[in-house]
A and B are shown apart, each in its own frame.
Chain A
Amino acid sequence: MTRHSDPTQVQLTADGRLKHFLTTEGLSKELLTEILDLADSFISTQERAVKKVPLLRGKTVVNLFFENSTRTRSTFELAAKRLSADILNLDIASSATSKGETLMDTLWNLEAMYSDMFVVRHADSGAAHFIAEQVTPGVAIINAGDGRHAHPTQAMLDMLTIRRHKGSIEGKTVVIVGDILHSRVARSQIHALKTLGAKEIRVIGPATLVPKEMADLGANIYYDMEQGLAGADVVIMLRLQKERMSDALLPSEGEYFKLYGLTEEKLKLANKDAIVMHPGPINRGVEIDSAVADGEQSVILNQVSYGIAVRMAVMAMAMSGQASEQATQKNEENLSAEAQATGDDA
């Protein structure tokens, strides 16, 4: 898979509107805030008796999951349905050897069914970007997680959670704890947190799971959890991704819990009103103690509800960007046809 262009540019129209959603990296504060504001509006429509709005009526969304994820897939499915789109779920086991060609063949077949949007989850970093470059104009691509690279809708639902529970992201100290190495969520979070004005971003974990490049992204690295938690407003626990551990990066799960598991005692080191977040699914007793996961400071289940609203927002914005780009193109074609016709008359 070769990269031809900057993913930040691929996801925007000429006038700077979202038309794909591939990464939080390089998006402006205004655009990220627009996503959060729109998601807020969709939270209010979720509280009604009729949860649907007719915004994407007649559109077809395909959930293209090359990697399993029940929660992400089902929240995307609900989001599409609540926007009145038709949705098709495809779980395709990823075949590492034949990806390039298989991926595009799959896509062209689905395009032939007049799909308007693909929600893509893939084990390879850059997969969604690759598809966005190849896809027919007018079709939107939403990245639902690509390899270790990005998981932008998860990052934005986390931003919404912080904004709704802490008032704003500006000036907050946010710590991300655990398996940073395998985490596309952490990367997308750091980009969004920086753009939205967090005071300090800390990543905490064992040296084997916290790559040094995190410092280049603007995060401060801590190997000691007690030190890292001091003064935190937001504590984001990451799942220990056992399925991605190909090397012996950890002594044992018990040892990991002792050093980096979030217990009530350790949480006391953070600010008193700190919130605890987790992208799920949680491993109780591995990275987080049940007492904390179910405790008063936990907003883990709120995150799931906000996930639907955020996904509705980016789907609506991307489809809207595609619609306006198509309309502009059509106008330009009409104008040049008119100019042609006038030229012929003269």
Chain B
Amino acid sequence: MTTENIVLPDAEILCQQLCNDLKQLISDKNLQRPLLIGIRTGGVWLAQRLQQALELPELGILDVSFYRDDFDERGLSAQAKGSELPDSIEDRSIILIDDVLMSGRTIRAAMNEIFDYGRPTSIHLVSLLDIGQRQLPIQADLVGAKLELDATQKVKLSGPSPLHLSIDDLSID
């Protein structure tokens, strides 16, 4: 599989579609006081869009740098900026938002961090793309699109406006 024959979906269209799906999910599950939390960096851009569309008063930002499990191999990310969550997340229905779901390790780290802030009622996961290659038993509740990629290929979301997907092929280097 080469870069040329992968057609990436339009991120703006996926985002629009996720807005509608998320509205539906919140009403179907009757989620009270939903709190959107975006994972830095791409997840935050997506979360901001969803927050505006759903007209929610607040938005949480999660930086999972301090909770990653690859510290011994990769060290600390130089861009670690810390998280910004509301004072209390007790009894909130959390919608966790990331750009690309792959191994599931980022989501594991994010959930661990969330529980250090308190005990939410529930967590639902929303992701723009799911590119498989899961290493943990984690699935998204809402996904914009599913895609199969080579292990050497990485999808990158750029933003915040417009949102755009591109592929970094590590095997070309």
Residues of A within 8 A of B (CB): 17, 34, 37-38, 40-42, 44-45, 48-50, 52-56, 316-317, 319-321, 323-324, 327
Contact = CB atoms under 8 A, between A and B. Distances in A.
Contacts of B112: 54
A45 B76 contact: no
A50 B72 contact: no
Nearest to A54: B67
Nearest to B63: A41
B75 A17 contact: yes
Residue from the set B74, B80, B117 with the largest chain A CB neighbour count within 10 Å: B80
A34 B75 CA distance: 14
B82 A41 contact: yes
A48 B74 CA distance: 26
Contacts of B80: 38, 41
25 contacts: A34-B78, A38-B80, A41-B63, A41-B80, A41-B81, A44-B84, A45-B82, A45-B83, A49-B116, A49-B118, A52-B116, A53-B113, A54-B67, A54-B112, A55-B66, A55-B76, A317-B76, A319-B75, A320-B76, A323-B71, A323-B72, A323-B73, A323-B74, A327-B72, A327-B75
Given A37-B81, A44-B82, A53 B73 contact: no
A158 B59 CA distance: 32
Interface string B101-138: 00000000000110011100000000000000000000
A17 B118 CA distance: 34
A320 B118 CA distance: 28
B73 to A, nearest CB: 5
Contacts of A53: 66-67, 113, 116
Contacts of B71: 55-56, 319-320, 323
Quick one: which of B66, B78, B83, B118 has the most chain A CB within 10 A?
B66
A55 B63 CA distance: 13
Contacts of A323: 71-75
A321 B72 CA distance: 10
Contacts of A44: 82-84
B98 to A, nearest CB: 20
Contacts of B74: 323-324, 327
A318 to B, nearest CB: 10
A53 B63 CA distance: 12
Given A49-B116, A55-B71, A320-B71, 11 more contacts: A37-B81, A38-B76, A41-B63, A41-B66, A50-B116, A54-B67, A54-B112, A56-B71, A316-B76, A323-B75, A324-B75
Interface string B16-34: 0000000000000000000
B61 to A, nearest CB: 11
A45 B78 CA distance: 17
